[in-house]
Amino acid sequence: MPTRVNKIIMENSDVIIKNWLEIVSEKRKNDYTSSISEDLFQSTNREFVNVIFDSLDQQSLTKGLEAFSERLVNLGWPLSYLTDGLQTFRRVTIDFVLGQNEKIDTDFFSIILDRVDSWVDPIINKLVNEYSGSWEHTVSLQRVALQELSAPLIPVMRNITIMPLIGTIDTERAKQIMENLLEGVIKHNAEVVLIDITGVPVVDTMVAHHIIQAAEAVRLIGSTCILVGIRPEIAQTIVNLGIDLGKFPTKSSLRKGFETALELTGRTIHRESNKEEVIEDIIGSIEKE
């Protein structure tokens, strides 16, 4: 019996494909794939339906299906194109087979449904798996990329290191900051480390707590942590929250913090303009002679 259904379907694949293409093209008009060119849409549809028929013909999921779904994933076609397409396919095929028989008893009816389901369902599963696998892969890549970005350390000068923080800080990132900070201070042999929070949109108690802990840890390994880039509105909210940042130095700007860092490491800024003045003085004194 099952083979009889298969036979009807295979022998009439032309009609089924035609019906399917019509419905899918009709549906497209108010659809998500509207940015895709008509040619590409039609050729993809034909490829899609051939892949479906191949898997019926060979009674299993084919390499062709795999290649096809991989390509669509890479091109960024929505998963709903495939699932909608397959649901439509299920309906078209069932309608067609039913239309071939004058009288249908319930047994035959359920056999048709079974056959079509056991054909279409594995394809849907396969495609959904393929898609979600690729999403997970993308997400994990992005996570790694973000982690690398999340707490960078820049050794700007011997013994002075800067950690510029940009964006929201969540618990995951707060941990990363602490780890990178301690690791970096030791690796670069930093006497002073500047944490720049100019780019952190909100400093709430959680963020403040982590910064305080990080600074304390840096102090314990014998270095100094300076918090810089505290915007005026952030300074206000920190005060409102009643958080005491008095235990370690804070500076409004990176420039001021850097000057402090130079002092702490026994350096002073010698301005180029001073030199010019000195030279002018010398020239002036020469001219006088």
Partner 1 sequence: MDFKPCVNINKELDIVGARQLGRTRAKELGFGTVDQARIATAISELARNIYLYAGKGKVCFEVIDQLDKQGLKVVASDEGPGIRDISQVMQDGYSTSGGLGAGLPGVKRLMDHFEIHSEWGKGTEIQAIKWVR
Ligand X SMILES: Nc1ncnc2c1ncn2[C@@H]1O[C@H](COP(=O)(O)OP(=O)(O)OP(=O)(O)O)[C@@H](O)[C@H]1O
Q: Which spans of this chain sit near ligand X (rule: CB under 6 A)?
A: 205-206, 209
User: Which residues, in sequence order, are bridge partners of residue 272?
Assistant: none
Nearer to partner 1, 11 or 172 (CB): 172
- What is the C-alpha to C-alpha distance for residues 238 and 251, in angstroms, rounded to an integer? 14
Q: Which stretch binds partner 1 (CB under 8 A): 105-113, 143-151, 167-175, 271-279?
A: 167-175
| Rounded least distance, CB 236 to ligand X, Å | 17
Q: Of the candidates 242, 271, 285, 287, which one interacts with partner 1 according to CB under 8 A? A: 242
- What is the C-alpha to C-alpha distance for residues 92 and 98, in angstroms, rounded to an integer? 10
> Would strands 154-157 and 160-166 be described as parallel, antiparallel, or unpaired?
antiparallel
| Rounded least distance, CB 212 to ligand X, Å | 11
- 3 exposed, middle or buried (CB, 10 Å; 0-12, 13-18, 19+)? exposed
Q: Is residue 168 part of the contact set for partner 1 (CB under 8 A)?
A: yes
The partner in contact with residue 170, picked from partner 1, ligand X, none with C-beta cut-offs of 5 to 8 angstroms by kind, is: partner 1
> In the chain, what are the helix, strand and coil shares in percent, each to the nearest 5?
70, 10, 20
User: Which residues, in sequence order, are bridge partners of residue 251?
Assistant: 228
Q: Is residue 142 part of the contact set for partner 1 (CB under 8 A)?
A: no
Q: Is residue 283 part of the contact set for partner 1 (CB under 8 A)?
A: no
Q: Which residue has the tokens 């102090």?
A: 219
The partner in contact with residue 146, picked from ligand X, partner 1, none with C-beta cut-offs of 5 to 8 angstroms by kind, is: none
Q: Of the candidates 26, 136, 179, 233, which one interacts with partner 1 according to CB under 8 A? A: 233
| Rounded least distance, CB 207 to partner 1, Å | 9
Report whether 227 contacts 245 (CB < 8 A). yes
Q: Of the candidates 15, 145, 221, 241, which one interacts with partner 1 according to CB under 8 A? A: 241
